[in-house]
Structure 1
Amino acid sequence: MQGLMMDFPLTLQHAFNRAIRLYPRKEIVTQTDGEPHRYTYSTWGKRVYQLANALKQAGVQEGDRVATFGWNTYRHFELYYAIPCMGAVLHTLNIRLFSEQLAYIVNEAEDTIIFVDADLVPFLEQLAPQFPTVKLYVIMGEAPYATGALQPSVDYETFIADQPESYDWPTLDENAAAAMCYTSGTTGNPKGVVYSHRSAFLHAMASGLANGPALGEQDVILPIVPMFHANAWGFVHAAALFGSKVVFPGRFMDPMRIGRLMESERVTFAAGVPTIWIGLLNLLSKEHFDFSALRSIVCGGSAVPQALIEGLQQHGITIIQAWGMTETSPLASISQLRSHHLDQSQEEQFRIRARQGTVVPGVEFRVVNIETGQEVPWDDESYGELQVRGPWVARAYYKDSESAAKFADGWLRTGDVAVVDHDGIIQLVDRTKDLVKSGGEWISSVELENLLMGHPKVLEACVIGIPHPKWSERPLACVVPKPEYVDQVTKEDILDYLRPRVAKWWLPDDVVFIDAVPKTSVGKFDKKVLRSQYGMYSLPS
């Protein structure tokens, strides 16, 4: 016997329709060089319709890939809906990838049109001859120079001008592709993840759950997480679905501009990687902002140091750790205190908040022993690879016949090493490739980094494994002092700080001071760069 419920397709058309019909007065704000650009969902909706008509006139058909190469702006927000709602596929290009990786991605996806922000035109010009499938470039904003190799090209406003302000959306299969994004390619070529309308819809719904980000109509959302990667963590979908005001930072990502924007727009919810919030915390020691409207920040992309959680809390700011991947859309778990944690000490609560937390409803997980393949006990000590599955988790990569090992038995093998406590709360201890194996025992580079960043004179820290003739590998700590403490913190200061906090054999064999930790294209610590720099480093005996 089957249920007798309507077969209602879960598509992004529903989110778009809700935004323009129920919340036409809500604002969409974009930071610019001058006064912020402002308009309402009502105006946004008309422009989305115009854009869809222009795409259709340009020959875009259902299933075609249409790419974007831009910052977090209102035009990008228009593209986020016009392209998938008309049945094409939004392909967000990571503006910080190496040129060879970008060329590979555009050609594998067979993008037909690329929308590019004006200030990014020079970079794309260098690669345009390598894009045989691209038939048109649409320039967003005023380019102060000729578009050169980007031919044929057209200005965005000219492209949509005089188009009708209505469009009959086609009936779409909820499992049809809505968007695609490639992984950041830390090893080998980037891999394409194709999101369906259904997965994007359900992922956005999860952002409204009370035990999730809990987004709603009264929120003012600031997605600092880039729109060019992993759906801006789904918050631009959630904003339209729930009718939230949304604020875009544009290309202005420095802590001062972010702080002023949060203050002036009365932001209630923000999202970004730890490096953004480390910079803001450092600024808060010198500057004052009115963040009284802010209820929470969701932080992901890499582990959130406990020192960052504690530091922001001293300024009345609640930062919530979330975990996910490009392959998980990406929200998979979120770290929030449970009812029985509320009676515990503040120190213990901070420790719990520094974990990756509980999987959100809709996602299932298991942690599997790396060597035996058996699920590990929930004892908060047994290491294993975290594996997940759910309706917004990828089951394969685009055009990749070799990805079967990554998606084993219906589970996504994340490559993250985790432990689980008795309540099923997850803590990542490392990536499988980043664990330091010393004398047959594992050392968590992530745990060491979190402790190092608790030192009052340390801004950032990264730990890598260095070959050792006796122990196979030993940890090397690469430390960035806070600007005011450059040349005022020593190796012994660092090691003395760690000694009472870790086992003796976990102590790094050496500490090197660097100007900045290298970052990947999405703001994560790039350990492969440090490994290449220090791979032949001679550790003290």
Structure 2
Amino acid sequence: PGMGAILHTINPRLSAENLIYTMAHAEDEVLIFHEDFLPLVEQVRPRCPSIRKVILITDKEEKADIKGVDAEYEELLTSASPSDELPDLDENTQATLAYTTGTTGRPKGVYFTHRQLVLQTTAGWGSMTAIGNYGGMDKHEVYMPLTPMFHVHAWGLPYWATLFGFKQVYPGKYDPEMILRLVVEEKATFSHCVPTILQMIITAPAAKGLDLSHWKVIIGGARLTKGLAMAAKELGIKVTAAYGLSETCPLLVLANLKPFMEKEWDEDRQLDWAIKTGVVMPLVKMRVVGPDGKDVAQDGTETGEIVVRSPWLTPGYYKDPEQSEELWTGGWMHTGDVANVDEYG
């Protein structure tokens, strides 16, 4: 995005038909892919006429001879002249595009500007430094993401890690033995993933007997159960919950233990709090409303729909004004998610 192009991160787990739809809908022009996905690329490219160039990423040292590939990524880097000069872009220039399958019908495009990415990154940075000892960040972290970039910028955390200046470790395929080896050998201290990935890691034979007390993991994408959190805790892993949507860039809420909770609560009660969705990040205005549009009681019991405002939410669905209007009913983004609010917010 810094060069002025729009980054569309593609989800290879979509069906071929939905991949073709999203690439055609986005009018993608340059396709960059890893060699592992060559069969998929060969299947979809003939039906994506907007693509002008195809660039290959390969781990092999010998030059690949693949029909239809215009260039290799590493060769392009080697031949390019070093320059740190970027175009002077308007902050409201579109930077990224992703497609969500969390709604009915065809995948819907959500898009974000440079300004929105910067605001979400700085707010996230502030939130993580405020979390404290339980699951926060400091400048000494070794960051290893376990969420792919097509999950809306890997939840934005690679940008946070770059802003902090962390050492970053990228594992590639999500093989539990390899991930555990990297956590130990690279001394990874901070990751994020969905519950199924964490479950896969902690139940792997290679996890038995390991001390992972240096590792903190944010869980999102689905509910973090207490059982999973306790199983992770047995290996020393500190887990906390987070919440967001593709439409929200995505993180809005982090489980932030307040200072008195860390001092006064026992470990079991702290864990009960850590697996909750948490409290909102700076610059986020969130409400939980009933059918009448009024806020529900802050009693931890009454439920309602989460509606939200923030400067980094998608303005709407890409090329879909009708669905965009429904998303932003009454000036609030309607998530369709149900929640309650307890006494601590």
Settle same-fold status: TM greater than 0.5. yes
Deviations 1:62-103 (A, max 9, x none): xxxxxxxxxxxxxxxxxxxxxx11111111001111111111
Alpha-carbon separation, structure 1, partners of 2:118 and 2:325 = 26
Tell me which residue corresponds to 2:224. 304
1:358 aligned to which of 259, 276, 279: 279
The match for 1:129 among 46, 63, 67 is 46
**What does residue range 316-355 of structure 1 map to in structure 2 within 5 Å?**
316-342=236-262, 343-355=264-276
| 1:235 and 2:235 are equivalent in the alignment | no
- From 175, 182, 190, give the equivalent of 1:254: 175
Say if 2:193 is the partner of 1:272: yes
Q: Deviations over 1:456-508 (max 9, x none)?
A: xxxxxxxxxxxxxxxxxxxxxxxxxxxxxxxxxxxxxxxxxxxxxxxxxxxxx
CA-CA distance at 1:347 after TM superposition:
3.2
Match of 2:58 in 1: 141
Letter in 1 for 2:243: W
Tell me which of 129, 136, 139 is aligned to 1:217.
Answer: 139
Partners in 1 of 2:294 and 2:213 — Cα distance? 48
Q: Which deviates more, 396-405 or 183-192?
A: 183-192
State the shift of 1:283 in Å.
2.7
Larger Rg: 1
What's the counterpart of residue 318 of structure 2?
398
CA deviation after TM superposition for structure 1 residue 163, in Å: 1.7
Hey, what's the Cα distance between the residues in 2 that align with 1:175 and 1:214? Answer: 30
Counterparts in 2 of 1:353 and 1:141: CA distance versus 1, 3 Å: same
Structure 2 portions without partners, runs of 5+: none
What is residue 122 of structure 2 aligned with on the other side? 205
How far apart are the structure 2 equivalents of 1:339 and 1:152?
55
Verify the 8 A CA contact 2:301 2:340 in the aligned structure 1: yes
RCO higher in 1 or 2 (8 Å CA, sep ≥ 6)? Answer: 2
The alignment's TM-score, normalised by the length of structure 2, stands at 0.91
Who is 1:408 aligned against?
329
In the TM superposition, what is the alpha-carbon distance from 1:395 to its structure 2 partner? 2.5
CA contact (8 A) 2:226 2:271 kept: yes
Residue 140 of structure 1, CA deviation: 0.4
Q: 2:307 aligns with which of 387, 390, 399?
A: 387
**SS in structure 1 opposite 2:336?**
strand
Q: Is the 8 A contact 1:336 1:353 kept in 2?
A: yes
Q: TM-score, normalised by structure 1?
A: 0.59
Show structure 1 runs of 4+ deviating over 4 A.
142-146
Q: 1:266·1:291 contact (CA, 8 Å) conserved in 2?
A: no
Please report how far the alpha carbon of residue 340 of structure 1 lies from its aligned counterpart in structure 2 after TM superposition: 3.8
The residue type paired with residue 157 of structure 2 is F
Cα distance between partner residues in 2 of 1:214 and 1:319: 11
Which residue number in structure 2 is paired with residue 504 of structure 1?
none
Letter of the 2:122 counterpart:
M
Change (3 A) 1:321 1:233: same
Distance 1:259 1:152 in 2: 35
Tell me if the contact between 1:86 and 1:169 (Cα under 8 Å) persists in the aligned partners.
yes
1:216 touches 1:243 (CA, 8 Å); kept in 2?
no
CA RMSD of aligned residues (A): 2.0
Whole-angstrom CA distance in 2 between matches of 1:394 and 1:188: 19
Paired letter, 2:259 = S
8 Å Cα contact 2:305/2:334 also seen in 1: yes
**Does structure 2 retain, via aligned residues, the 8 Å contact 1:203–1:329?**
yes
SS in 2 for 1:182: strand
Deviations 1:510-530 (A, max 9, x none): xxxxxxxxxxxxxxxxxxxxx
Task: Report if the CA contact (8 A) 2:212-2:235 is conserved.
Answer: no
Letter in 2 for 1:108: H
Q: Deviations over 1:358-398 (max 9, x none)?
A: 011111100111x3222211111111101111112223111
State yes or no: 1:176 paired with 2:93: yes
The one-letter amino acid paired with 2:143 is I
1:270 match: secondary structure: strand
Give the counterpart letter for 1:211 in structure 2: A
Q: What is the number of residues matched between the two proteins?
A: 336
CA change 1:320–1:159 in 2 (3 A) is: same
CA 1:289/1:365 → structure 2, altered by over 3 Å: closer, same or farther? same
